Structure 1
Amino acid sequence: MNNPDAHDFLAVDQDLTEEERAIRDAVRDYGTAELLPHVADWFEAGTIPAVREVAKGFGALGVFGMHLEGYGCAGTNAVGYGLACRELEAIDSGLRSFVSVQGSLAMTAIHHYGSEEQRQEWLPRMAAGEAIGCFGLTEPDSGSDPGSMRTRARRDGSDWVLNGTKMWITNGSVADVAVVWAATDDGIRGFLVPAGTPGFTANVIHKKLSLRASITSELVLQDVRLPADALLPEASGLRAPLSCLSEARYGIVWGAAGAARACFESALDYTKARVQFGRPISDFQLTQRKLADLLIDVNHAMLTALRIGRLKDAGQAHHSHISFGKLANVRSAQRVAAIARGMHGASGITLEYPVMRHMLNLESVATYEGTEEVHALTLGQALTGSSAFR
């Protein structure tokens, strides 16, 4: 019997269907050909210069809202969507975040909670990458506790008037439409705010040291007047935005596995090629022990992602399962990236190799869409039946 494949040691991908393998291969091939040659430059520049072209490329690939049905969306299963996230984050977390925010947050909010007119207006164009969306929930003083948001919407006749600030919004400054969540007298509601609406501005956040191949913005709403049909009619309370976040967090479960795999593969290739003391450093015991540790973390992450994906496709995935995956896989990916960075020596701090870029990106991935502490407490609540949040 031959040795196991170093790139899929436990043969996790053997459990994929033919359609799932086709999705995996299509996204991997696209990422390798169209994104990987540019991503280090984008990271160094701190932006995606040709963001509209990237969006159209993702649209043609079919990854925007690919888990949704109708309106130009592919309607794939959860594992297929997860595989796309894995392959995109193996290139860069910022690119997977682009797809997650567009599809799992903005498009899902419109698809699940919007009117038919809103769906027809936005979803086909967003699926094609012709329109970009963003998701405005987090605020400067309201991250892990979104129920404390200060953005408010009040009625004025048949209109709504919004005031507030949203922070750390992916694609905010290039979005054609923002899904903005605001407190009202009837609870938290969602609104569609088209770009160019008077009083609505999006300011790019600069000087980031993480997710640099991504556009992050602050949204400011000053007496933004919206017609009655800007309201997402089926969204009421925090359950609506949190359900969208659960979809995006599911993508992170797979994405973190992709980032970990990329760092492991880079470390394996580098140590086999790097010669010191007359031998490749992969021949030395300390290096082989590190490679074994990375291999275990990567394969654990792959197994966790696939199991949660199968539960999701069977309608059996609880939100605490997704918290388990996000907490476990991001933690594993951070560990892999840090060790792999050291294994590259001085070269590991350069953009010639992906490890430092992934290591920095994962600092954001560990924070957004639920910090490690929030997901740990979610698991604690699932185990004990007692909430420690309040």
Structure 2
Amino acid sequence: MSILLILLVAVLIVFGVPDIRRSLISKPVFQVFKKILPPMSATEREAMEAGDVWWDGELFSGRPDWFKLLKTKPHQFTAEEQAFIDGPLEQLLAMLDDFKINTEVHDLPPEVWSHLKEHRFFAMIIGKEYGGLDFSASANSHIVSRIATRSLSAAVTVMVPNSLGPGELLTHYGTMEQKEHWLPALAKGQEIPCFALTGPEAGSDAGGIPDTGVVCKGEFNGEEVVGIKLNWSKRYITLAPVATVLGLAFKLYDPEQLIGDKEDIGITCALIPTNHAGVEIGDRHLPLMQAFMNGTTYGKDVFIPLDWIIGGVDYAGKGWRMLVECLSAGRGISLPALATATGHNVQRFTGAYAYVRQQFGLPIGKFEGVQEAMGRIGGLNYSIESMRRLTLTALDEGYSPSVITAMTKYHMTEMGRQVLNDGLDVHAGKGIQMGPLNYLASNYMGIPISITVEGANILTRNLMIFGQGATRCHPYVLAEMEAAADSDEEAGLRSFDQLLIKHIGFAISNVFASVWHGLTGARFANAPVGGETIRYYQQLSRMSRALALCADVAMLTMGGDLKRKEMISARLGDVLSHLYIGSAILKRFEDDGRQVADLPYVHYAMQLQLHLIGQAFRGFFKNFPKRWMGRVLSFLVFPWGNRYDRPADDYAQQIAESMMEPGVLRERHTFLSYWQDDENDVTGHMELAFLHMHENEAVFKKVYKAQKQGVLDSNLSGDALAEAAIAADVITVEQGQRFAVAERLRQRAIAVDSFEPEAMSKGRYIARDVV
């Protein structure tokens, strides 16, 4: 007993007396930490420091404050935003014919361009003082999503000027003269912007940009001035073929030190009129058969004045920081909006098709194999929309959460791809025959665009989500890194000492909490609500503790190698992402008033997220470099085993059934989908068939029953079937008239487009009657 008491006193002295603690513990750890600290390039450091920490910090803390999350309120559209949505947006949607845009015009029609400019669709992020709309992130997302349910090409055309580009860069960093000159013209559509970042030798590695600018003297407007001689070659630049003003990122050098005392100044952004001498707009690209303007630009020895640098000379060399700060917000709006449009459209019209399309006398949506795919569609669409809303809440509150927007972009586009794959599986031949009535093919071909741009998804998952999350979201790591990098080593050690003690306490609490939650199934974890969702809050809290524990162990044992062990670190990033998606699902359920009809979607979506968390941890433990440590961590987190199963079949079947029912739930889950009350409309023909068949469901049952009993010929259809049913007194004349309309719409809905061979061979798609 006395020995234990002596040991306890010794520990208290070592940890309780600052000078002794620093000498015996903090200083040795400090030296080790500096050695294992991953080296960061200047561009990595700027990316790491860009943006804010929001709910992702809570999830990484191991103790997420659910009450804090539920207190946040989603943005409500202003009167101006709603008027725009109800007016110019609806007018635009009625003008869009995506098949014609992509296969005949290969561009937006002139009247569409005029409408976009007249109603300032390109000015949603420009302030009202410069003639812009100054809309919220939520309104921006809603508008782009709704357009994308109609035409991906039109959506991208609207999206780009309202995302990373000259408008946003000028708004945040431009000089007053630059703002007053460019922003009003951009707002009115008198100037069309593009931003050139990607080149043949520099995609994800923006620090490797080969495009250069050299500070030198040259002639501008008849006078000799100090300016920049530029050389660049860029590709994949959206709107470049029609742009009148070019935003350009390049590496700036000042060999004669004309503007400062450094030769290598760094990445810089400038704004250049495309009619300026030497600026070349090259050929168009054809991005997966989409018609939005995308192409190349290049220039050789193009001289520009210094005041064309965005922000002026003071912002020379600050371009990368400017880009990552703007991208950290924009990445959470534009591409997720396209994925959301996919989710809404596929759920709405796959549900309709699964009811309209009959096999063996039943809607195909009644077969369990089809219901499995429909369950995924509904569950993933619920997750996509939930994630969109929560991220927009952060953005509208003024945050710029770089890790969250990276997760949003990556997972929403990947879920959108899965939804589209399932939708095409259900539609089968209806989905693969392109034509004016195919509402899936264009987005199916275009989804890789969303997955590729603004950071390819492989990069986003493997480097950005956990790479930034581990340092930005962790309560202590970033501060410890800053202490270790302090040029005053003694001051750094003092800061590190204070942080280390807190970090040790944090780590110990995570070990015990993880074991406790594992042994008890997290049944004693706090939750902000009761009812059917309480266990999900508890399980997410449990996995939050597990993430904090495993991240600490990984960083401690692997150090700088963790950055290169992408398969390991990415799995921890997956855990963080699925914790965030799960949070978004639960938040949406509460924001929507805990709708009972939504519970199958919530259960399916939450069980899927927990299963994916379990899968990520399973891969992390199994492949951890120190295998024994992986086994220890696995036992601490899952002492009874990893029991997160896939969603139950019952929920998939309930979702499938609800997708085939018109009503409030269907409207709430697919409110972004656009259709016209026209049987020749690309989506209207399916919606009308679906609604008419439901309105005449009892009549259809009588007719089908008569066919099964042999009263009516089973080979009859359309008007012939309606006439035979009336003649046999199976249905009344009035019922027969309604049945004939519904049957005609049904046949049109299951038909596919065909084209005149001669015209098609000449590149003209003249559709025949559908077959």
TM-score (norm 2): 0.46
Quick check: 1:176–1:195 contact (8 Å CA) kept in 2?
yes
Structure 2 unmatched ranges of 5 or more: 1-72, 218-225, 254-264, 472-559, 567-771
1:47, CA displacement in angstroms?
2.6
1:273 maps to which of 332, 341, 356? 356
Q: C-alpha deviations, 1:16-68, integer Å up to 9, x for none?
A: 62536555545652343122xx21111224731536x4343223344323133
SS of alignment partner, residue 312 of structure 1: helix
Q: C-alpha deviations, 1:105-143, integer Å up to 9, x for none?
A: 221112222222222222122222222110001111111
Are 1:358 and 2:533 counterparts?
Answer: no
> Following the alignment from structure 2 to structure 1, what is the Cα–Cα distance between the partners of residues 402 and 212?
28
> Following the alignment from structure 2 to structure 1, what is the Cα–Cα distance between the partners of residues 148 and 325?
22
- More off after superposition, 235-244 vs 125-134: 235-244
1:126 maps to which of 168, 174, 186? 186
2:457 maps to which of 354, 372, 388? 372
Are 1:245 and 2:327 counterparts?
Answer: yes
Q: 1:89 to 1:207 in 2, by over 3 A?
A: closer
Quick check: 1:199–1:222 contact (8 Å CA) kept in 2?
yes
Highest Rg: 1 or 2?
2
What are the residue-to-residue correspondences of 1:28-107 with 2, within 5 Å?
Answer: 29-35=90-96, 38-45=97-104, 47-50=106-109, 53-69=111-127, 70-104=129-163, 105-107=165-167
Q: 1:33 to 1:46 in 2, by over 3 A?
A: closer
> Following the alignment from structure 1 to structure 2, what is the Cα–Cα distance between the partners of residues 91 and 279?
30
Quick check: 2:278–2:302 contact (8 Å CA) kept in 1?
yes
What are the residue-to-residue correspondences of 1:322-333 with 2, within 5 Å?
Answer: 322-333=405-416
Are 1:204 and 2:244 counterparts?
Answer: no
Q: Which residue of 2 aligns with 1:4?
A: none
AA in 2 matched with 1:151? D
> Following the alignment from structure 1 to structure 2, what is the Cα–Cα distance between the partners of residues 324 and 289?
26
Q: C-alpha deviations, 1:305-340, integer Å up to 9, x for none?
A: 110111112223410110011011101100111111
> Following the alignment from structure 1 to structure 2, what is the Cα–Cα distance between the partners of residues 244 and 55?
26
- More off after superposition, 231-240 vs 131-140: 231-240
Quick check: 1:133–1:176 contact (8 Å CA) kept in 2?
yes
2:272 maps to which of 170, 175, 193? 193
Q: C-alpha deviations, 1:129-172, integer Å up to 9, x for none?
A: 22211000111111111111011111221122110101100010
Count of aligned pairs: 373
2:249 maps to which of 170, 181, 188? 181
Q: 1:354 to 1:178 in 2, by over 3 A?
A: same
Quick check: 1:27–1:88 contact (8 Å CA) kept in 2?
no
> Following the alignment from structure 2 to structure 1, what is the Cα–Cα distance between the partners of residues 319 and 116?
32
2:238 maps to which of 145, 170, 178? 170
Q: 1:248 to 1:43 in 2, by over 3 A?
A: farther
Q: 1:332 to 1:359 in 2, by over 3 A?
A: same
> Following the alignment from structure 1 to structure 2, what is the Cα–Cα distance between the partners of residues 60 and 262?
28
> Following the alignment from structure 2 to structure 1, what is the Cα–Cα distance between the partners of residues 409 and 356?
33
Q: C-alpha deviations, 1:261-281, integer Å up to 9, x for none?
A: 122222222222222222322
Quick check: 1:151–1:165 contact (8 Å CA) kept in 2?
yes
Q: 1:110 to 1:367 in 2, by over 3 A?
A: same
1:181, CA displacement in angstroms?
0.8
AA in 2 matched with 1:99? V
> Following the alignment from structure 2 to structure 1, what is the Cα–Cα distance between the partners of residues 340 and 82?
16
> Following the alignment from structure 2 to structure 1, what is the Cα–Cα distance between the partners of residues 249 and 151?
28
Are 1:388 and 2:563 counterparts?
Answer: yes
- More off after superposition, 377-386 vs 353-362: 377-386
AA in 2 matched with 1:33? A
Q: C-alpha deviations, 1:152-195, integer Å up to 9, x for none?
A: 11122112211010110001011010101110021111111212
Are 1:339 and 2:422 counterparts?
Answer: yes
- More off after superposition, 148-157 vs 195-204: 195-204
Q: 1:16 to 1:290 in 2, by over 3 A?
A: farther
1:207, CA displacement in angstroms?
4.5
Q: Which residue of 1 aligns with 2:393?
A: 310
Q: Which residue of 1 aligns with 2:736?
A: none
Q: 1:27 to 1:372 in 2, by over 3 A?
A: farther
> Following the alignment from structure 2 to structure 1, what is the Cα–Cα distance between the partners of residues 383 and 363?
27
> Following the alignment from structure 1 to structure 2, what is the Cα–Cα distance between the partners of residues 90 and 18?
20
Quick check: 1:58–1:64 contact (8 Å CA) kept in 2?
yes
> Following the alignment from structure 1 to structure 2, what is the Cα–Cα distance between the partners of residues 359 and 46?
20
Q: 1:49 to 1:78 in 2, by over 3 A?
A: closer
Quick check: 2:146–2:341 contact (8 Å CA) kept in 1?
yes
> Following the alignment from structure 1 to structure 2, what is the Cα–Cα distance between the partners of residues 378 and 225?
36
Quick check: 1:254–1:302 contact (8 Å CA) kept in 2?
no
AA in 2 matched with 1:172? A
> Following the alignment from structure 2 to structure 1, what is the Cα–Cα distance between the partners of residues 470 and 305?
45
> Following the alignment from structure 1 to structure 2, what is the Cα–Cα distance between the partners of residues 182 and 263?
41
Q: 1:334 to 1:46 in 2, by over 3 A?
A: farther
1:109 maps to which of 151, 164, 169? 169
Q: 1:56 to 1:245 in 2, by over 3 A?
A: farther
> Following the alignment from structure 1 to structure 2, what is the Cα–Cα distance between the partners of residues 90 and 27?
16
1:201, CA displacement in angstroms?
1.2
Q: 1:59 to 1:49 in 2, by over 3 A?
A: closer
Are 1:229 and 2:307 counterparts?
Answer: yes
AA in 2 matched with 1:29? E
> Following the alignment from structure 2 to structure 1, what is the Cα–Cα distance between the partners of residues 294 and 77?
36
Quick check: 2:417–2:447 contact (8 Å CA) kept in 1?
yes
Q: Which residue of 2 aligns with 1:5?
A: none
Quick check: 1:86–1:255 contact (8 Å CA) kept in 2?
yes
SS of alignment partner, residue 366 of structure 1: helix
Quick check: 2:204–2:455 contact (8 Å CA) kept in 1?
yes
SS of alignment partner, residue 134 of structure 2: coil
AA in 1 matched with 2:464? T
> Following the alignment from structure 1 to structure 2, what is the Cα–Cα distance between the partners of residues 319 and 23?
29
Q: Which residue of 1 aligns with 2:634?
A: none
> Following the alignment from structure 2 to structure 1, what is the Cα–Cα distance between the partners of residues 393 and 302?
43
Q: C-alpha deviations, 1:76-97, integer Å up to 9, x for none?
A: 2221212122212222333222
Q: C-alpha deviations, 1:236-276, integer Å up to 9, x for none?
A: 23111223333431222223111221222222222222222
Quick check: 1:270–1:344 contact (8 Å CA) kept in 2?
yes
Q: C-alpha deviations, 1:344-386, integer Å up to 9, x for none?
A: 2112121322212111111111000011122212111234327
> Following the alignment from structure 1 to structure 2, what is the Cα–Cα distance between the partners of residues 32 and 240?
34
Quick check: 2:162–2:168 contact (8 Å CA) kept in 1?
yes
Identity of aligned residues (%): 22
Quick check: 2:380–2:415 contact (8 Å CA) kept in 1?
yes
SS of alignment partner, residue 138 of structure 1: coil
What are the residue-to-residue correspondences of 1:287-306 with 2, within 5 Å?
Answer: 287-306=370-389
Judging by fraction of residues, say which structure has more helix: 2
SS of alignment partner, residue 238 of structure 1: helix
